[in-house]
Each structure stands twice: as C-alpha cells, then as structure tokens.
C-alpha cells in the first residue's frame, strides 16, 4: 500500500474579474507540461547539475501570466537548501494525457527513500501529491519536507496574509533567528571546502518568518496574488538569504535574492503530506 507524504498548496489568483473562465482546466500539452490560459506547470522539464546542484529552473515550476513565479518544488532535507546540498535522484518521469497528470519517480538512495511526485489537474488548478512506497525513514522525520521557491523580484516588498488574520511584508533584507541543524549521520560527505563553509556558519538554518495553514502571497499585486493552503501540517515561509546573502544578484535567472520556501515537514515517520495547487479562485 502506498503512503502519502502530503502537502497542500492552493495557488489561487484572486484578483481581477474573470481572469480565468468558469471552464478553467489544465491539460497536458504535446511538450509534456500542464497548461491553460495564463497558467502553466512543469515537472522536471530540466534536471539539476550533477555537481553544482544550483539550478533555479527544475523540479516543479509554475508560470503565471507569463512570469515564472515559483520553481524547484520537490522534497528537500533542509528548509533553505543551498548550492551543493543533497537533492533527490530523478529516475523517470511520465505524462498521462488521458488523466491530465504529470509524475516523476525520485529517490534519496543514501537513505533508502523513494517516492513519486505527482501533479494532477483538478477543477481550478492542480493537486500535487508525494506518494511513498513505504513509510518515511525515521531519521528523515522532521527533516524531509516539500520545498517551493518563489521568485524574489515578484514578491519581495509585497504583502502576505496568514490564516486570514496575520499580515506582513516579504522582507527586503534577511533578519531571522537561526537554529543549529547538524548534518544527518548517513549524509554523504561534502568536499572539504563545503564542510568548512557549513562549520563556519555553525550548521545553522533560519526559523520561518511566517507560519500557518493558509497563506496568501502578493496580497497587493493583482497579477501575482496566490493563496497557499495546507490540509495537514503548517506551511512555513523561510528567507534563504539568511544563509547565503552573497547570492543577491539582481536580474539573474538563477534567483537566490528572495527564497520564500514553503515547506511541509512531517513530525512522525508515518506522516503523510499532500500538495494541491489551485488557480482561478
């Protein structure tokens, strides 16, 4: 029996009358991505470089009104992973045109952890699920989570709303408390200079600057406003610049300027996580 590592992401463009028609539906194109007017979702159309692992145009990507708003959607082992941090190995990917569904078979061989990342069209958007063939390894409980990185130039300085009551502004500069997150015992050893970098940073990761079940991003931007909703664990927004401030480079396609990572982190090895992406609300 399959277990589900469940994350729920609701992406909803909430502004402007009839930006998406009532018949909004996504379909798999002949190029193997999900598409409808104004919104496209790719799944491993590109892969990570085997050495540098620094692409910002791979895994699950979302294009809204011609702008890439989010990328690198997949399971990671850190809230704000950096260049050279461990990524899953892509084994295969499939496009099911009959059911309007994309899937990617992935694994972390070091931890004997394999799963299928699925993006399926449903009325108003897509639903993303992470399906495991066996329970999440205990050592990855509280570490493995689904991460999605949002484009900094679109959301930096704009407002967000958590659970309908707590408002904030995406920061222009990082200033979050840090906590120690030591490497896992079985994690592959990095090159000595990367180990030195991590040691110098104290193996730290930032705490989330926002957390809740329902988060609206770009509340004040009609064409970038999206809503993210979790059915299980809390959504968390992190600022990756706390770890890598040197990555701030305006205009680069590999954008580290503002890394708003939505991460669902299970607390038990048996936890499931769901992900849904909805557009056109």
pLDDT at 44: 95
Contact 39, 221 (CB under 8 A): no
pLDDT at 50: 79
Handedness of CA 145, 33, 62, 45 (dihedral sign): positive
Contact 236, 262 (CB under 8 A): yes
Cα–Cα distances in angstroms (integers) from residue 252 to residues 56, 216, 266, in the given order? 10, 26, 33
Helices and strands per DSSP (H, E), number in the chain: 2, 21
pLDDT at 255: 27
Name the E strands within 109-263.
113-122, 125-132, 145-150, 159-162, 166-169, 178-180, 204-206, 210-212, 214-217, 226-229, 235-239, 260-262
pLDDT at 244: 66
Q: How far apart are CA 199 and CA 211, in angstroms?
A: 28
CB-count burial class (<10 Å; 0-12, 13-18, 19+) for 163: middle
pLDDT at 101: 95
pLDDT at 245: 57
Cα 133 to chain centroid, rounded: 21
pLDDT at 14: 44
Rounded to two decimals, what is the model's pTM? 0.82
**Closest to 146 (Cα-Cα) out of 277, 268, 3, 275:** 275
pLDDT at 250: 31
Handedness of CA 116, 44, 125, 215 (dihedral sign): positive
Residues of the chain with pLDDT under 70: 1-24, 244-281
Sole residue written with tokens 């679109």: 154
Q: What is the pLDDT of residues 44-72, one digit of tens each?
A: 998 888 777 777 788 999 998 898 888 88
Show the tokens assigned to 76.
């990671």
Q: What is the pLDDT of residues 218-230, one digit of tens each?
A: 889 888 888 777 7
Q: How far apart are CA 215 and CA 162, in angstroms?
A: 4
Measured distance between the N- and C-terminal CA atoms of the chain, rounded to whole angstroms: 34
């Amino acid at each position: 029996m399959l277990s589900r590592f469940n994350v729920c992401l609701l992406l909803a463009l909430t502004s402007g009358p009839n930006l998406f028609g009532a018949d909004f539906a996504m379909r798999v194109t002949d190029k193997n991505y999900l598409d409808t007017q104004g919104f496209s979702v790719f799944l491993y159309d590109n892969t990570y470089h085997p050495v540098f692992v620094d692409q910002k145009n791979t895994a699950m990507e979302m294009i809204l009104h011609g702008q890439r708003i989010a990328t690198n959607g997949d399971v990671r082992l850190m809230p704000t992973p950096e260049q050279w941090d461990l990524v899953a190995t892509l084994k295969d990917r499939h496009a099911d045109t009959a059911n309007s569904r994309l899937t990617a078979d992935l694994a972390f061989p070091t931890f004997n952890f394999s799963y299928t990342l699925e993006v399926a069209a449903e009325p108003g958007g897509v639903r993303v699920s992470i399906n495991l063939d066996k329970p999440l390894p205990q050592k990855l409980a509280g570490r493995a989570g689904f991460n999605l990185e949002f484009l900094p130039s679109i959301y930096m300085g704009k407002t967000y709303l958590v659970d309908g009551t707590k408002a904030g502004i995406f920061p222009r500069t990082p200033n979050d408390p840090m906590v120690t997150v030591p490497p896992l015992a079985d994690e592959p050893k990095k090159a000595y200079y990367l180990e030195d970098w991590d040691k110098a940073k104290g193996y730290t990761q930032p705490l989330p600057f926002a957390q809740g079940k329902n988060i609206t991003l770009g509340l004040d931007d009609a064409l970038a406003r999206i809503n993210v909703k979790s059915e299980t664990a809390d959504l968390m927004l992190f600022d990756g610049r706390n770890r890598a401030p040197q990555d701030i480079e305006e205009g680069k396609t590999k954008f580290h300027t503002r890394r708003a990572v939505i991460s669902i982190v299970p607390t038990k090895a048996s936890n499931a996580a769901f992900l849904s992406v909805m557009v056109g609300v």
